[in-house]
Chains A and B, each alone.
Chain A
Amino acid sequence: MSETTRTTGVSRRTLLKGTAGLAGLAAGSGAITGFPYVKSADAKVLRYLGTAVNEGDDISKQCLKDTGIKIEYITATTDDVTKRVMTQPNSFDVLDTEYFSLKKLVPSGNILALDAKKIKQFDNITPVFTKGMTPGGKKIGGQGTAPWKVLYLEGKDSKKFATSATEFVTLIPTVYNADTLGIRPDLIKRPISTWAELLNPEFKGKASILNIPSIGIMDAAMVVEATGKYKYADKGNMTKEEIDLTMKVMTEAKKAGQFRAFWKDFNESVNLMASGETVIQSMWSPAVTKVRSMGIPCTFQPLKEGYRSWASGFCVSKGVSGAKLEWAYEFVNWFLSGYAGAYLNRQGYYSAVLSTAKAHMEPYEWAYWMEGKPAEKDIKAPDGSLLEKAGAVRDGGSYEDRMGGVACWNAVMDENDYMVRKWNEFIAA
């Protein structure tokens, strides 16, 4: 019972915080299927804290069927996940979070690294995470908090990131993607090929960025570089002068009325784009797909300066030990065994272990999502709804092309405090 109540509580709070759609759906449906839970010795329950990205109902159902582990989702926004880890480390077991938050989470000591030796598929994890390369050998841009910089710890309880591989892994990789601008080709009516277009006065009042300061500023930095105004040593770790320069560009754009609204959650970005409030904005791949499935043209536009990428993975709360820790390993191993990976690939994200996901996908699906080939048959979402008609090609093409084109990674800067103050100044301007 108490578990059921907790789920509902979180869903209500999440709703209040503004993550209505997806989050509410995920947490809410959890409450409906969460029949009064009878505690018995062998009931395996894991409380799973994360954003809505990985938290499909189908995933938890399949996991229960395959392993007997019952997953209870606690859904929150990226910021709130971090906040919860810092302030209530005992309120969850498994944590699903992004690599860029590790700079805050690891020193806090509230999370426990997992042992690579206990992860069956660890050696099959894509070299994107371990070497900073695509499987085809393309070097990936490493600006920002690139996962390979923070993947390993020096020791079990160490708070230092190791420079070479150890068995102590901060986050076991699960999902990642290369983000770029989403555009409405029907309203823009001309080719878009550079980040500079985001602040092009032509789209005055019709542009948008993410309302997360650390990510918003990186999008702006992509624009600054694209216009040739300045070249950053590391867009994900700016100096104070670089922050000032970038914020000045953004402030000028804001004062000129460039931005329609900033978005914070998946559905907001879909609403803005689908309603025509914006025609160009930073976006996530499944959000573009969602707009398209509403019958509205929308392109996840590859740009010559490259993608801004993000990645997330699993660790556990420091309070998890004994049998529960074993279930956590069992769950993570299950997650990498293919079903979940295929599920994520079908949404337009990428799974960490490609081989197992491939085995769970139809060859035509793999060819469309991963190889950038024209769809042989209609492409369907995990829930069976039609995403693309036969013949369509994925925006940006193959996995090699998209991940190989990554320029920088979501990050937390050393000057984060200064940047947040500058962000408030930017909003007040």
Chain B
Amino acid sequence: MDTSEDILHQASPDLVRGSETKRAAKAARLSPSFISWLQAGPMMLVFLAFFLIPLVFVVIVSFWDYNEYQLLPAFSGRGYTDTFEGCIAQLPDLCTIGKTYLKTLKLCFMVWAITLFIGFWVAYFLAFHVKSKTWQMGLSLLCTIPFWTSNVIRMIAWIPLLGRNGLVNSGLMKTGVINQPLEWLLFSEFSVVLALVHLFTFFMVVPIFNSMVRIDKSLIEAAYDAGATGLQTLVNVIIPLAKPGIVIGSIFVITIVMGDFITIGVMGGQQIAAAGKIIETRVNALQFPAAAANAVILLAITFLIITMMSRIVDIKKEL
């Protein structure tokens, strides 16, 4: 209510000044929902203009036809049928789209599991072992360091480190651990997962940390008093209460990795299939309807994953 009155002050001083009069009282009674709309309005408009409307266009274009140089606004399922080409004929072998999504999901799962593990413990450390607010702030900021440089620079920097003649290989060879440079350090699934984890662990840390600091410390003390071991407290108290943060962090990481093609492209030497890469190749060949159809498929699959996750935890309730 405080906020809504503040807004009233700004929006219409007259209304507030005359709050004794019936008319104004009525207006004030009507206002909460109106004010909620007012508060949500700007974001809603941005969402509508820059997300929903473009999305509708993408869906429409995905059902258009095309030639080498233009879109043909006539209904065609070509974008979809081409995408699923051979999916039945090639059974039991997977078709292109099947293989691509299998690979994407595999990368996505690995990145999710690792970022969750690392992110959880970083958040745990920040929330329970760092006592001062200042230090908590300072250390959280440290987690943002991977974002201080541009995406491209960050990824190019891996080559001198992981390359055939990079620091890691030459270090291992000098110490005699290996005689041949390790080829799989770069341009491999390993390097893709490494780069994605390096980039996106932060997206796990923040929401989980946010959930953890809101856990009432007396609950943990109560668990301790009731004789729970550290592990029991973790499993029965902390993890359940940090669930919303875990789910939100997971949604961040999964949606980003599902659509990524830049990191997978650069770190995978452009030889690892990704759902986003199919779209990129199509767009570069000016085959926009086919690209749009693939975007719709990607959206549907990502949406499915998120729906499944929110089935596990009702985020709305937990917040």
Contact = CB atoms under 8 A, between A and B. Distances in A.
Contacts, number: 103
B206 interface: no
B289 to A, nearest CB: 11
A189 interface: no
A286 interface: no
B235 interface: no
A320 interface: no
A15 B271 CA distance: 21
A83 B282 CA distance: 11
B69 A16 contact: no
Interface string A271-284: 10001110000000
State the main secondary structure of chain A at its contact with B. Answer: helix
Nearest to A108: B69
A238 to B, nearest CB: 15
Interface stretch (A229-237, A336-344, A384-392, A421-429): A421-429
B159 A271 contact: yes
Given A18-B266, A275-B160, A276-B164, A261 B152 contact: no
Given A213-B281, A275-B159, A275-B160, A104 B96 contact: no
B156 interface: yes
A10 interface: no
B5 interface: no
Interface in B278-303: 278, 281-287
A15 B284 contact: no
A277 B169 CA distance: 12
Interface string B76-90: 000000100100000
A199 to B, nearest CB: 15
B270 A262 contact: yes
B70 interface: yes
Interface residues on A, range: 35 or more
A260 B265 CA distance: 12
B12 interface: no
A429 B99 CA distance: 8
Contacts of B282: 420, 424
Interface in A297-313: none
B270 A264 contact: yes
Contacts of B159: 271, 275, 277
B122 interface: no
Interface of B: 68-70, 82, 85, 96, 99-100, 103, 150-153, 156, 159-160, 163-166, 183, 186-187, 262, 265-266, 269-273, 277-278, 281-287
Rank and list the top 4 A-B pairs by shortest CB-CB distance, nearest first: A261-B269, A428-B273, A262-B270, A79-B284
